[in-house]
Structure 1
């Protein structure tokens, strides 16, 4: 007899005081036929099927071990049930498959002191059943041949693709049958050599402190300690010892850019986690060739007795400072993996803040943005260096802080009409999410070179052929998909 392993929602098991006594769900979600009737023609034209939403109903018993605790148990059960968005729902009769579902409708319980009886309905607006995740690792010897990708599910699915770029290219494409994702323009003999219009002034994943030097000062605080490389992927405070001080204090380091820039884009990735007893800030600064502050951006928790994250941004020039960006993050966000994006283009400054839905995955969503016009041209000094700082304040316990990646890209280069831009450079990571229609470069949306006729790629049931071009422009390529069934 098959064993029932319980019910999990958002990877959390149903409370053990709730017993599932029955599951009601359909073999298929509702299927309707799209037809068009034509006058004078018998029957109708068949334009395929429409798949509706799937519903799953659990018949349950809530069992209390003693009287007068049922209300508290129902509150706990309600907290487990309720989510704003669909979450993974795993039914214990098939623990290797899951639905994307959230509870809807009434949740009435017939209560008799020690036992409550009722039914809970989950709605799956995405009607598919998801199974195992499969990954095809593309060999580094790949030379442009057709890759055989087998979809072992019973329905079409949309793959995720990732490539580490190994040479500068002006175009990149992935093709499967009649579907394709096409980026950039191939180089031809009718134009001059491709030009790099966005050269990196700094491209540092903070896996070594080589090239970085300790600074003797930090804006709004004192220098205490220095950085260490942690787990081969970030800077953090060495030994987590922030020293002492009555104001902000902690480590700080500076690294020069390859050249100065008037127009640029900065991407700074960070992680911060804080609680009601902790205080901390993670900060990135841009300096001129004399080490004078020209931009400062930070996420901090400066409150004791609560956990309240804030984002702040300043620009400096003409003896002035301008705190043009300030944002209080939602109270629900007490820890975040995110990035700050700053673009300086002529007299315009644009800053944006993004948060990932996972502490390790680069699945970012937009949180905040602000634009500033430097009408009097007071903030136009060139930048030449970058500075990082991690700190706490006073005697409060320090929050957990990481500086993860820092990119600075020049926007000073221009091209003429006979030149083609290089869109991907050595070390870039290109990601294509064919389900969401998303293209990311180094975790940041990358649509400016996407061919508008691109259709994105779906894997039909069974074998599918995939071709990637140029074949010699990447390594560690992979194609990942989840099995889907109706």
Structure 2
């Protein structure tokens, strides 16, 4: 099917066919540089990604002029930029979404029972995202770590949930000393999480049944839904592409359940 989904609406619902699209290989770039008098060239600090631009060429088909006008109005309402950014998912790329809104004037050309529309779109967030979250969960002793794979090509924000899993109890078989059991849950004191070598910490206790949630994209820290940013220190790390070591520590030698939720993203 030669179409797309805009938010929750598919283009076919409006009689719209995607004729062509133009998407830059990479987002626009922004060079941070300084000219130094007496020195040739410039001092180049770095290059950053800027916004991304797309163009869609659409064909709208209708049995008569009245139906055509109605479908054009429906398309205008659907893509109204005052409604904010929407997820754009192409039929031939169903696992990736572009977060877009219309910019500028949409050009319309009319025919008998048809019209073509050229939509100019922009992405303030230039990355292409997976349609669904990746969720990884691990129970970690203080001082241990696990591996988390990010199959995207760009670092991505991650939501980290820390909660009590338990403490080590008596051997499962005292005679043989084989195995361990978890006999009770206790508070985690001053939990610290490292992602790819970058650590953040929270000063306080996470009691059994509570959840400490750190969103490294929104830069928020919540304890059972309440703002807990006052106890936070360190950085808000992104999850780099590829394999990543995620470590956990606290001050009581506890066992924490870490849940990492993230969207893979691509440049």
Q: TM-score, normalised by structure 1?
A: 0.47
Q: Distance in 2 between matches of 1:28 and 1:442?
A: 39
Q: Say if 2:51 and 2:124, in contact at 8 Å, map to a contact too.
A: yes
Matched, 1:478 2:256: no
Match of 1:29 among 27, 30, 33: 27
- 1:141 Cα shift? 5.6
Q: How large is the Cα RMSD of the aligned pairs?
A: 2.1
The SS at the match of 2:231 is coil
Q: Distance in 2 between matches of 1:169 and 1:448?
A: 17
Matched, 1:172 2:228: no
Match of 1:444 among 226, 229, 236: 226
The SS at the match of 1:68 is helix
Q: Which residue of 2 aligns with 1:230?
A: none
Matches within 5 A, 1:80-479: 80-83=78-81, 84-131=83-130, 133-138=133-138, 140=139, 142-165=141-164, 166-184=185-203, 422-451=204-233, 454-470=234-250, 472-475=254-257, 477-479=258-260
The SS at the match of 2:70 is helix
Q: Say if 1:64 and 1:115, in contact at 8 Å, map to a contact too.
A: yes
The SS at the match of 1:71 is helix
Q: Distance in 2 between matches of 1:61 and 1:158?
A: 37
Q: Distance in 2 between matches of 1:144 and 1:178?
A: 13
Q: Which residue of 1 aligns with 2:61?
A: 63
Q: Which residue of 1 aligns with 2:167?
A: none
Q: Say if 1:63 and 1:115, in contact at 8 Å, map to a contact too.
A: yes
Q: Which residue of 2 aligns with 1:217?
A: none
- 1:483 Cα shift? 1.3
- 1:153 Cα shift? 0.9
The SS at the match of 1:73 is helix
- 1:12 Cα shift? 2.1
For residues 290-310 of structure 1, the C-alpha deviation after alignment (integer angstroms, 9 at most, x for no partner) is xxxxxxxxxxxxxxxxxxxxx
Q: Distance in 1 between matches of 2:16 and 2:196?
A: 49
- 1:440 Cα shift? 1.3
Q: Distance in 1 between matches of 2:69 and 2:126?
A: 33
Q: Distance in 2 between matches of 1:485 and 1:472?
A: 36
Q: Say if 2:144 and 2:247, in contact at 8 Å, map to a contact too.
A: yes
For residues 247-287 of structure 1, the C-alpha deviation after alignment (integer angstroms, 9 at most, x for no partner) is xxxxxxxxxxxxxxxxxxxxxxxxxxxxxxxxxxxxxxxxx
Higher relative contact order (CA 8 A, sep 6+): 1
Q: Distance in 2 between matches of 1:177 and 1:483?
A: 16
Q: Say if 1:167 and 1:474, in contact at 8 Å, map to a contact too.
A: no
Q: Say if 2:141 and 2:256, in contact at 8 Å, map to a contact too.
A: no
Q: Say if 2:136 and 2:261, in contact at 8 Å, map to a contact too.
A: yes
The SS at the match of 1:167 is coil
Q: Say if 1:25 and 1:57, in contact at 8 Å, map to a contact too.
A: yes
Cα 1:12–1:444 change in 2 (3 A) is: farther
For residues 306-352 of structure 1, the C-alpha deviation after alignment (integer angstroms, 9 at most, x for no partner) is xxxxxxxxxxxxxxxxxxxxxxxxxxxxxxxxxxxxxxxxxxxxxxx
The structure number with the bigger radius of gyration is 1
Q: Say if 2:137 and 2:259, in contact at 8 Å, map to a contact too.
A: yes
Q: Say if 1:36 and 1:46, in contact at 8 Å, map to a contact too.
A: yes
Matched, 1:8 2:5: yes
Q: Distance in 2 between matches of 1:157 and 1:182?
A: 20
Cα 1:141–1:156 change in 2 (3 A) is: closer
Q: Distance in 2 between matches of 1:177 and 1:25?
A: 32
Paired residue total: 242
Q: Say if 1:423 and 1:449, in contact at 8 Å, map to a contact too.
A: no
Q: Distance in 1 between matches of 2:232 and 2:147?
A: 25
- 1:113 Cα shift? 4.4
Match of 1:74 among 63, 72, 75: 72
